[in-house]
Amino acid sequence: MLDFDNKLQKCNVCKHEYTSIHTEVIPGVKVYVCDNCLEAAKHNFIWICMGCGTVYIRNKKLVIERITDNELKRAYLLCQDKQIIQGIDMCIKCDPEGILNYMDIQKVPVC
The residues spanned by each domain of the chain are 3-107
User: Cα(37)–Cα(12) distance, rounded to whole angstroms?
Assistant: 9
Q: What is the pTM of this model?
A: 0.76
What stretches of the chain show up as alpha helix (H) in DSSP? 35-40, 60-66, 70-79, 96-107
pLDDT means per 10 residues, the chain with 111 residues, are 74 94 86 94 92 93 89 86 87 80 56 39
